[in-house]
Chains A and B, each alone.
Chain A
């Protein structure tokens, strides 16, 4: 699975074989196809862009065109082992509601997002006084799909507030991993594996 984007590779490596999953915002289905082909998973997807849905269907994947903010409500409770949201949280209208939906639909949830408190972002804002445009956040403020910027610590605070358990977390800087303690400063991407007791 070396061809996968680093955060997807982390998710792929930590999904149990033969499990069922829903990939919300699945793009062209790269992660789903890898999990189906290499781990025998029953992968379903949701994707906003019709061209991407078409690409998924052509790969033999079952993907529904839909919007994470509106269409997750139609999935039954605990209907998959994993609900996956990779680099989509920060683009949703209500990230907290989407997060709750993931944990309702999946027994566990993988969530990955770019860390807006990465030192490069901080430096850029501090020095230039402008909203950062970096390698990771290449789009200007007025046309970025990222409408809810968050940091690793913001996300941790939300998890605590909502009594969501962290089963695993991975912090990426390029292809390298960094420690949880340094993550809010050093990590470009974060991946969390979440669950909720009850």
Chain B
């Protein structure tokens, strides 16, 4: 049996043609870093595309090259796991605009210097166009499924709307069809923190040996709060003090939650490019699937013949259940087969990445059809 097999390390595809973008420009020399696991069958119809979230990457199950930590979804993807690599050929590509091998603001521009802020503003649909270019290069006409959480879910919805024949099923976790004012507001806090850092240098910091690490760290801290639930933070930290018996009457990280956030912020700067953070959060803020389809979300799915499944979490206040329901109602209005469930989990938005056995059952059940 003639089956292609892609080894378990990151691959890089370089596109021959410039990638047309929603902003009107074209991006030349686009590179797409991706990983693939499990065997692609001869019919090439058992592939699943996993779309990663804002600061995720293609290392869905392999160790992260900078942090050495296990892949971001090892609990969900692998042999015998809910997304079973014994059955499916699982592909995960780094989005354009990111910094883990796919073309982004830190990549060299045609003049040899990093793009910096000369990198064009991209959209979720532009990220999806790059995914489609990858599928074309791999000779995969139709995916078994597209799976994504958070920003990955936005890519899945955009792919469903713009390339309805490229997948038979879409699984969208903890996501939304548009960024709300509150979502945009939190992202703007993060962007302003980065741009207020003198080390940002209008985005032209690559030659200076250091970037806006303080700003990026603050951006991550603010964002990280939105990924957790109040209940989860209280259970994990409460008002407990960090390695001390009394408050110091100073501005050290007295509280455990402060120490935790500072650690999250700092460790993030070691693995992520600040300009990528600006560009990707912008792409998310610009996302409004209804706007792209005459203001009516149901219009986005009228050509769809695929199955859909949406999952939300009761403690997710970043993309709350109402956002998923909004998508479900639109799919219903288009007569598209859709399942939806709100699962109970204490972890807030991050629930889709964490130990929620009910989610495993839904994912496995939906994909094995």
B365 in contact with A63 (CB, 8 Å):
no
Q: A44: which B residues are within 8 A, CB to CB?
A: 337
Nearest-CB distance from A22 to chain B (Å)? 10
Q: Which residue of A lies closest to B338 (CB)?
A: A62
**Total number of B residues with any Cβ neighbor in A under 8 Å:** 23
B364 in contact with A63 (CB, 8 Å):
no
| A51-74 interface code vs B (CB 8 A; 1 in, 0 out) | 101101111111111100000001
Q: A51: which B residues are within 8 A, CB to CB?
A: 358
A64 in contact with B338 (CB, 8 Å):
yes
Other A-B contacts than A53-B340, A64-B328, A65-B341, 16 sampled, CB-CB below 8 A, are A50-B342, A50-B343, A50-B344, A50-B358, A51-B358, A53-B341, A53-B362, A54-B341, A56-B339, A57-B362, A58-B364, A62-B307, A74-B332, A76-B333, A76-B335, A79-B335
Asked whether A65 and B362 contact (CB < 8 A) given A60-B369, A75-B332, the answer is: no
Of the candidates B335, B339, B342, B344, the one whose C-beta lies within 8 Å of that of A57 is B339
Q: B343: which A residues are within 8 A, CB to CB?
A: 50
Nearest-CB distance from B356 to chain A (Å)? 11
B286 interface residue (CB < 8 Å to A): no
Roughly how many angstroms separate A30 CA and B307 CA in the complex, as a whole number?
Answer: 20
Q: A62: which B residues are within 8 A, CB to CB?
A: 307, 337-339
Q: A65: which B residues are within 8 A, CB to CB?
A: 340-342
B333 in contact with A74 (CB, 8 Å):
yes
Q: A79: which B residues are within 8 A, CB to CB?
A: 335
B206 interface residue (CB < 8 Å to A): no
Of the candidates A58, A61, A64, A66, the one whose C-beta lies within 8 Å of that of B361 is A58
Roughly how many angstroms separate A58 CA and B359 CA in the complex, as a whole number?
Answer: 11
Roughly how many angstroms separate A61 CA and B362 CA in the complex, as a whole number?
Answer: 11
Of the candidates B307, B337, B365, the one whose C-beta lies within 8 Å of that of A59 is B365
B333 in contact with A57 (CB, 8 Å):
no
Nearest-CB distance from B343 to chain A (Å)? 6
**Total number of A residues with any Cβ neighbor in B under 8 Å:** 21
Roughly how many angstroms separate A44 CA and B344 CA in the complex, as a whole number?
Answer: 23
24 contacts between A and B (CB under 8 A): A50-B343, A50-B358, A53-B339, A53-B362, A54-B358, A54-B362, A57-B309, A57-B339, A57-B365, A57-B366, A58-B361, A60-B369, A62-B307, A62-B338, A62-B339, A63-B339, A64-B338, A64-B340, A65-B340, A65-B341, A65-B342, A74-B332, A75-B332, A76-B332
B69 interface residue (CB < 8 Å to A): no
Which residues 339-369 of B sit at the A interface, judged by CB distance below 8 A? 339-344, 358, 361-362, 364-366, 368-369
Roughly how many angstroms separate A59 CA and B337 CA in the complex, as a whole number?
Answer: 14
| A74-96 interface code vs B (CB 8 A; 1 in, 0 out) | 11100100000000000000000
Which residues 12-64 of A sit at the B interface, judged by CB distance below 8 A? 42, 44, 50-51, 53-54, 56-64
Roughly how many angstroms separate A53 CA and B343 CA in the complex, as a whole number?
Answer: 10
Nearest-CB distance from A6 to chain B (Å)? 28
Count chain A CB atoms within 10 A of each CB in B337, B338, B341, B364 and give the residue with the most.
Answer: B341
Count chain A CB atoms within 10 A of each CB in B309, B329, B335, B339 and give the residue with the most.
Answer: B339
Q: Which residue of A lies closest to B365 (CB)?
A: A58
Q: B332: which A residues are within 8 A, CB to CB?
A: 64, 74-76
| B317-336 interface code vs A (CB 8 A; 1 in, 0 out) | 00000000000110011010
